Amino acid sequence: MIHKLMLYNTLTRRKEVFEPLNPPHVGLYVCGPTVYGDPHLGHARPAITFDVLFRYLQHLGYKVRYVRNITDVGHLENDADEGEDKVARKARLEQLEPMEIVQYYTIRYHQAMDALNVKRPSIEPHASGHIIEQIEMVKRIMEQGFAYESNGSVYFDVLKYNTKHHYGKLSGRSVDELLSNTRELDGQAEKRNGFDFALWKKAQPEHIMRWPSPWSDGFPGWHMECSAMGTRYLGETFDIHGGGMDLVFPHHEAEIAQSVAANGREAVRYWLHNNMITINGQKMGKSLGNFINLEEFFKGSHEKLERAYSPMNIRFFILQAHYRGTVDFSNEALQAAEKGYRRLMEAAKTIHKLKPSDHSDTDVSALRNKCYEAMDDDLNTPQLIAHLFEAVRIINSVNDGHEVLTAVDIELLVDLIQVFAIDILGLSDETSTGGDDQLVEGLMQTILSLRKDARDRKDWPTSDKIRDRLKEVGIQVKDTREGASWSRD
Ligand code: ZN
């Protein structure tokens, strides 16, 4: 079948047919984490959303260059050009080098994402590794007259830009509205207008992360990194830019303005945004006591959690909602999702036991087409999961002898589960016994056969020694007429 992948473009506010600029190549940029704390649910949702997009585009045959940045400098406390750098603040509190904080939390992030079976991107650039590119882009914006220097810092001139272009087109805001909503803040006297944003900030004496520039020793504004690194790795115009809805304004709005100001054209063709996560109907927040990080979910070590929830449980739960809808986490909802996930994984095993018949009661290829239609409809994963449960129903029904399928259709069903559940949704089977158990079984058979050799030659001390040593590590050996068997204590 011919795929017409429809994606909802935040910029045009409608679903559009996805047509890459240079097929089969696709450039995908997603805003990654600011690495100053443990990864939490807010990190899991965009990572999983765009992982599914990455996987699906690859499945359709595209060669995807997926760039997801690491923000290690320039993200200030209040997101509005004031306050301390988030990484630098953590470094000060922990009495560590900023790059120690970055290294530590980048590893923590990778570990959590690996557990969630999120594929690593093609390139994971650090903001601090692209200061030169950011300075060059600030220079170009100044040359075009859309930025001004003030006291060693450089600000984007929103009003001037808005005389030629539309600032606010992504978030649906107008400059008039911004003007009436902007309070005059102390310490923003450097800016011509409160909503102008920093492209470069002069570092205060106590600020440790600083680089030389034509304007001052300082650091780039937060929005600069994604514009500079997107251009650096995907070109001045690329296909898809993703991120959480909370980044639409000001971060992505600023990115659009920066690219248009520097290059005379927009960088991004399709803007995709995932919705937010709430916990028991509330926004996640440190002050609300519901800020649960991923490790706490995996271990069940937060007071709001009745028990541990596995990474695949979390992944399946997130995918049960469409990425543009909200997701509300609760113990009940997670436990319901776990049942669904287990049922799917059980069926994925049962399918290999099905006996073929000479005809089929169900049209499996029609079901497969429905699965593609769901994914082509703006990555409708809840719809896809509903179709997968129809596959589960068929598998169980054939296994119970209520329905029949031909060998060809059974193969088609095996393929459908593999492609949609495993490859595209990225679910892996946590319920299987795993490779370790097979290894232990193999080792035990080797040890027991050596013990049998000893007994056959009436070498009782060696035979007893093996039995006693195994007992010490918690393994019981039982001698029966059929030979020795073993079990864990
Ligand atoms: Zn970004």
- Cα 391 from Cα 386, distance rounded (Å): 9
User: What band does 487 get if pLDDT is binned at 50, 70 and 90?
Assistant: confident
Would the pTM of this model clear 0.85, i.e. be above it?
A: yes
Q: Does any domain span residue 323?
A: yes
Q: Does any domain span residue 346?
A: yes
**Whether residues 93 and 73 fall in one domain:** yes
What is the CATH number for 289? Answer: 1.10.730
Question: Ligand 1 centre from 287 Cα, in Å?
Answer: 25
Question: Ligand 1 centre from 228 Cα, in Å?
Answer: 10
Quote the pLDDT of residue 284.
Answer: 82
Domain boundary among 372, 405, 424: 424
- What is the extent of the structural domain holding 370? 279-424
Question: Ligand 1 centre from 11 Cα, in Å?
Answer: 16
With H, G, I as helix, E, B as strand and everything else as coil, classify residue 87.
Answer: helix
**Whether residues 353 and 366 fall in one domain:** yes
**Whether residues 269 and 284 fall in one domain:** no
Question: Ligand 1 centre from 181 Cα, in Å?
Answer: 24
Q: Does any domain span residue 430?
A: no
**Whether residues 103 and 45 fall in one domain:** yes
Q: Does any domain span residue 2?
A: no
Question: Ligand 1 centre from 252 Cα, in Å?
Answer: 7
**For 206-239, how does the pLDDT look when each residue is reduced to its tens digit (9 = 90+)?**
888 999 999 999 999 999 999 999 999 999 999 9
Question: Ligand 1 centre from 73 Cα, in Å?
Answer: 12
Evaluated on CA atoms 260, 135, 86, 77, the torsion sign reads: negative
Count of positions (residues) in the chain: 489
**Whether residues 53 and 125 fall in one domain:** yes
484 pLDDT higher than 70? yes
| Residue 152, amino acid | G
Question: Ligand 1 centre from 225 Cα, in Å?
Answer: 7
Percent of residues, the chain, with pLDDT higher than 70: 96
Question: Ligand 1 centre from 70 Cα, in Å?
Answer: 9
Residue 137 near residue 227 (C-beta atoms within 8 A): yes
Quote the pLDDT of residue 3.
Answer: 81
**Whether residues 387 and 316 fall in one domain:** yes
**Whether residues 59 and 121 fall in one domain:** yes
- Cα-based distances in Å from 230 to 12, 67, 275, 298: 21, 8, 22, 33
Question: Ligand 1 centre from 251 Cα, in Å?
Answer: 6
Domain boundary among 274, 304, 326: 274
Quote the pLDDT of residue 184.
Answer: 60
381 pLDDT higher than 80? yes
**Whether residues 29 and 122 fall in one domain:** yes
Place of tokens 């993703």: 242
**For 432-455, how does the pLDDT look when each residue is reduced to its tens digit (9 = 90+)?**
655 566 677 778 888 998 999 999
Question: Ligand 1 centre from 423 Cα, in Å?
Answer: 27
**For 299-311, how does the pLDDT look when each residue is reduced to its tens digit (9 = 90+)?**
999 988 999 999 9
Both tokens of 345, joined, read: 């994984």
Residues with Cβ within 8 Å of 2's Cβ and at least 6 positions away in sequence, in order, are: none
Q: Does any domain span residue 247?
A: yes
What is the CATH number for 144? Answer: 3.40.50.620
Question: Ligand 1 centre from 353 Cα, in Å?
Answer: 48
Question: Ligand 1 centre from 177 Cα, in Å?
Answer: 24
80 pLDDT higher than 70? no
In degrees, to the nearest 5, what angle opens at C-alpha 307 toward C-alphas 278 and 115? Answer: 75
Question: Ligand 1 centre from 453 Cα, in Å?
Answer: 66
Question: Ligand 1 centre from 243 Cα, in Å?
Answer: 7
**Whether residues 265 and 291 fall in one domain:** no
Q: Average of pLDDT values for 278-293?
A: 82
| Total structural domains within the chain | 3
The two most distant CA atoms of the chain are separated, in Å, by: 97
Nearest to 266 by CA among 249, 247, 241: 241
Taking each helix axis from N to C end, the angle separating 364-376 and 381-399, rounded to the nearest 10 degrees, works out to: 160
**Whether residues 418 and 304 fall in one domain:** yes
Question: Ligand 1 centre from 311 Cα, in Å?
Answer: 26
Question: Ligand 1 centre from 31 Cα, in Å?
Answer: 4
- Cα-based distances in Å from 143 to 139, 140, 305: 6, 5, 54
**For 81-119, how does the pLDDT look when each residue is reduced to its tens digit (9 = 90+)?**
778 888 989 999 999 999 999 999 999 999 999 999 999
Question: Ligand 1 centre from 369 Cα, in Å?
Answer: 35
Q: Does any domain span residue 393?
A: yes
User: What band does 185 get if pLDDT is binned at 50, 70 and 90?
Assistant: low
Question: Ligand 1 centre from 238 Cα, in Å?
Answer: 15
**Whether residues 326 and 244 fall in one domain:** no
Q: Does any domain span residue 120?
A: yes
Domain boundary among 218, 243, 274: 274
What is the pairing mode between strands 63-68 and 147-150? unpaired
**Whether residues 230 and 301 fall in one domain:** no
Q: Does any domain span residue 318?
A: yes
Question: Ligand 1 centre from 32 Cα, in Å?
Answer: 7
Residues with a beta carbon under 5 angstroms from ion ligand 1:
31, 226
Question: Ligand 1 centre from 358 Cα, in Å?
Answer: 56
